[in-house]
C-alpha cells in the first residue's frame, strides 16, 4: 500500500487504536450505567457520526439512534456562539433516557444550548458523552458525563471532525500542518 493521500499533511494526536480502546471503555461504562433502561443516542451531526457508529456498537443494550443537525461554526475555526438546528429528531423523546453524543466540547456553548432544548421535551434523563474536551476554551461549564480524551487548545480533525468539510474520513485525530 502507498502512503495515505488525505493524511499527508496531518500529524497524529490520538491514533486509531487508542480511540478504539477508549470507545470500548466508554461503551462498557454506559452499558453498566443504563443496564435497566432503554437508551436513545442523539448523534450531533455532522462531527459525531463516526464516534456514534463506533460507540453504539460498543454498548450492549437495546437502544435507538437519533440525529440532530447543528451548525455552530462556519467554514472557519472560531465559535460564533450561535447554534442553529439544521435537522431535528425524528420522534418525541418524552420519558426516554437521552445520551447526547458529541465529537468535541470546546466553548461548551453548543452542548449548553442542546441540553436546554432537549430538556424542554421532557425526557426521563439527559446526559452527555463527548469524545474530546478542550477545557482551555470553556465559556460555559457543562456536565460531560462520559469523556474520551481531554486535549490542549489546538484545532483537530479526523474521526468525523472536519476542517471546511475535509478530513472527516481520517481514522485518527490529528492536527493539520500549516505548511501545505
Which of 159, 156, 153 is CA-nearest to residue 177?
Answer: 156
Tell me how far, at minimum, the Cβ of 80 lies from ligand 5GP, in Å.
9
Q: Which is nearer to ligand 5GP, 12 or 72 (CB)?
A: 72
Q: Which of 169, 121, 127 is closest to 145 using CA atoms?
A: 127
Q: Who contacts 131 (Cβ-Cβ below 8 Å, separation ≥6)?
A: 19, 23, 48, 51, 102, 103, 104, 148, 149, 159
Report how far residue 98's alpha carbon sits from residue 17's, in angstroms, rounded to the nearest whole number. 28
Q: Please say which residue, 34 or 168, places its beta carbon nearer to ligand 5GP.
A: 168
Spell out where 125-171 has E strands: 125-133, 146-150, 156-157
Nearer to ligand 5GP, 74 or 92 (CB): 74
Report if residue 103 touches ligand 5GP, rule: CB under 6 A.
yes
The footprint of ligand 5GP on residues 50-69 (CB under 6 A) is none
Closest separation between CB of residue 75 and ligand 5GP, Å?
A: 11
With cell 432537549, the residue in question is: 118
Is 106 annotated in the active site? Answer: yes
Q: Which of 39, 68, 109, 114 binds ligand 5GP (CB under 6 A)?
A: 109
**Shortest CB 32 distance to ligand 5GP, Å:** 26
Cα distances (Å, whole numbers) of residue 3 to 7, 8, 138, 174, 177 = 8, 8, 37, 16, 17
Site string for ligand 5GP, 77-96 (x = CB under 6 A): --x-----------------
In sign, the C-alpha dihedral spanning 75, 79, 85, 89 is positive
Nearer to ligand 5GP among residue 52 and residue 107 (C-beta): 107
* Selected binder of ligand 5GP within 30, 105, 118, 170 (CB under 6 A): 105
Contacts with ligand 5GP by CB under 6 A lie at 47, 72-73, 79, 102-110, 155-157, 161-163
Amino acid at each position: 500500500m502507498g502512503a495515505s493521500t488525505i493524511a499527508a499533511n496531518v500529524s497524529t494526536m490520538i491514533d486509531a487504536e487508542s480511540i478504539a480502546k477508549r470507545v470500548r471503555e466508554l461503551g462498557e461504562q454506559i452499558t453498566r450505567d443504563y443496564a435497566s433502561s432503554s437508551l436513545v443516542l442523539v448523534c450531533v451531526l455532522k462531527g459525531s457520526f463516526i464516534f456514534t457508529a463506533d460507540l453504539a456498537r460498543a454498548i450492549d443494550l437495546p437502544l435507538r439512534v437519533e440525529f440532530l443537525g447543528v451548525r455552530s461554526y462556519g467554514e472557519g475555526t472560531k465559535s460564533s456562539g450561535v447554534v442553529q438546528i439544521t435537522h431535528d429528531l425524528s420522534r418525541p423523546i418524552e420519558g426516554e433516557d437521552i445520551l447526547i453524543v458529541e465529537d468535541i466540547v470546546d466553548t461548551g456553548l453548543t452542548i449548553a444550548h442542546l441540553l436546554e432544548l432537549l430538556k424542554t421535551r421532557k425526557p426521563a434523563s439527559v446526559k452527555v458523552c463527548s469524545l474530546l474536551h478542550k477545557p482551555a476554551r470553556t465559556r460555559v461549564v457543562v456536565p460531560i458525563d462520559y469523556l474520551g480524551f481531554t486535549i490542549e487548545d489546538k484545532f483537530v480533525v479526523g474521526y468525523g471532525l472536519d476542517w471546511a468539510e475535509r478530513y472527516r474520513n481520517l481514522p485518527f485525530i490529528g492536527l493539520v500542518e500549516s505548511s501545505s
